[in-house]
Copies of this chain bind each other. A is one copy, B any other.
Amino acid sequence: MLPGGLRVVTEHVAGARSASVGLWVEVGSRDEPALGAGTHGAAHYLEHLLFKGTRRRSARAIAEEIDAVGGDLNAFTGKEHTCFYAHVLDRDMPLAVDVLGDVVLDAVMAGADVELERDVVLSEIAGRDEDPEDLLADDFDALLFGAHPLGLPVIGTEESVTGMTRDRLADFHARHYVPARSVLAVAGNVAHAEVLDAVAEVYGSRLGGSGEPWHRAAGDTPGTPADRLSVRDEDTEQAHLMLGVPSLRRADERWPALQVLSTVLGGGMSSRLFQQVREQRGLAYSVYSSTTGYTDAGALAVYVGCAPERLGAAAAVVRDEIADLAAHGITDAELVRARGQLRGELVLGLEDTSSRMTRLGRRELDHGGLDRATDLASTLERIDAVGASDVASLASSLLTAPRSAAVVGPYGDVDELPDEVREMVQ
């Protein structure tokens, strides 16, 4: 930990020729409502705006410096985190640390650029509106989390982005984009001391004070949603269904059991849903389950994309498989396979420096330090410790809770949906 509360975490990756550098800020769309409705979409808007120039670099200079070394510079904004990152050759790590610190802490946020980026963000919203699966995910979160800040789309709305002012953005930036809420995560062919040197050189004068690392406190648990079913009438050739239940917050000790449950339900080609919906019956091209975890809430969801005339039949299969899992849990063979799948995916998913940097940064933000038992070996141990009875007990509590379902497709209103879909949320 450095002055100002900035944390620096490094992982040396043998054999790599690159470094992935991420400057994570513990801020996201859920922090927006506290500053008023006009702030909705500010975190994502800032993700754009900060790249438009700093006191030392124009937007073009930023782009040219990174492009000249073949690097990749980008950012993503979530509900609880924002990450500004670069992937560069190992020797260019100091440049990446420099540019990222400059962008996140020292951006100019010129009024003219606020206007330019407004159009770009509105164009991105228009693009989202053309993607049924993106719309579906936003609609589903709105249902599941209701009025809770987690229910709002990260990207904001056309209205909130149109009304955004520079003052609001600058205020939001000043409050949240501070060293005490930030983690610099570096993975690659670099040593921790080299990273600290680069940080000292670049951030030195900007890291005054004695800030302590800030950690997000769990807020109110989302209340009971008012509606359980939504339809967005779109003239799509496919019907898109997302069905789910509240599940566990990220730190819940049953999280590995939830991963096993989701894997057996719809986590791969041998999962129940893939086999029953696609392989045995050919009802859909795409069907899977997924989990999401936040500080104080989570979701377990099933996605189906299929021809509208098959939506009822596909939903009936999903319903039956969920009921079977809730009543009978999983078999020993499924348990062994799911644990093997999760172990393999975890190891195979950490081969490049970007995925290691992501794991490193999120681990520090979510679990507050490496001393918590979250290294790879102990994660693998926790997966291996999951028993069939843990999964059965979780399935019987989660999968019998009231469900929510969002649909995007050619349906004027909920009454036009197949009976099987409406019955699932009753």
Contacts and interface: CB of A to CB of B under 8 A. Distances in A.
Given A70-B343, A71-B348, A73-B269, 13 more contacts: A14-B14, A17-B351, A63-B269, A63-B279, A67-B341, A68-B340, A70-B340, A70-B342, A70-B345, A120-B282, A127-B238, A130-B237, A351-B351
25 contacts: A13-B15, A14-B14, A15-B16, A16-B351, A62-B269, A67-B341, A68-B337, A68-B340, A68-B341, A69-B340, A70-B340, A70-B343, A70-B347, A71-B344, A87-B348, A89-B347, A118-B282, A119-B307, A119-B310, A121-B285, A123-B307, A124-B285, A126-B238, A130-B132, A351-B353
Interface string A115-144: 111111111101101111000000000000
A391 interface: no
A262 to B, nearest CB: 13
Contact of A275 (B60, B89, B116, B275): B60
A119 to B, nearest CB: 4
A305 interface: yes
A18 B351 contact: yes
B70 A127 contact: no
Interface string A222-238: 00000000000001111
A295 to B, nearest CB: 28
Given A116-B282, A237-B129, A285-B123, A60 B344 contact: no
A66 B15 contact: no
Contact of A307 (B126, B274, B351): B126
Contact of A238 (B13, B123, B345, B346): B123
A63 B273 CA distance: 13
Interface string A299-318: 00000011100100000000
A16 B310 CA distance: 43
Contacts of A124: 285
B237 A68 contact: no
Q: Across the A-B interface, give the 3 residue pairs with the lowest CB-CB distance, nearest first.
A: A70-B344, A15-B15, A63-B269
Interface residues of A, number: 75
A418 interface: no
A270 B343 contact: no
Contacts of A341: 67-70
A103 to B, nearest CB: 12
A192 to B, nearest CB: 19
Contacts of A70: 340-348
A270 B60 contact: yes
A113 to B, nearest CB: 9
Interface in A253-283: 268-271, 274-275, 278-279, 281-283
B64 A130 contact: no
A59 interface: yes
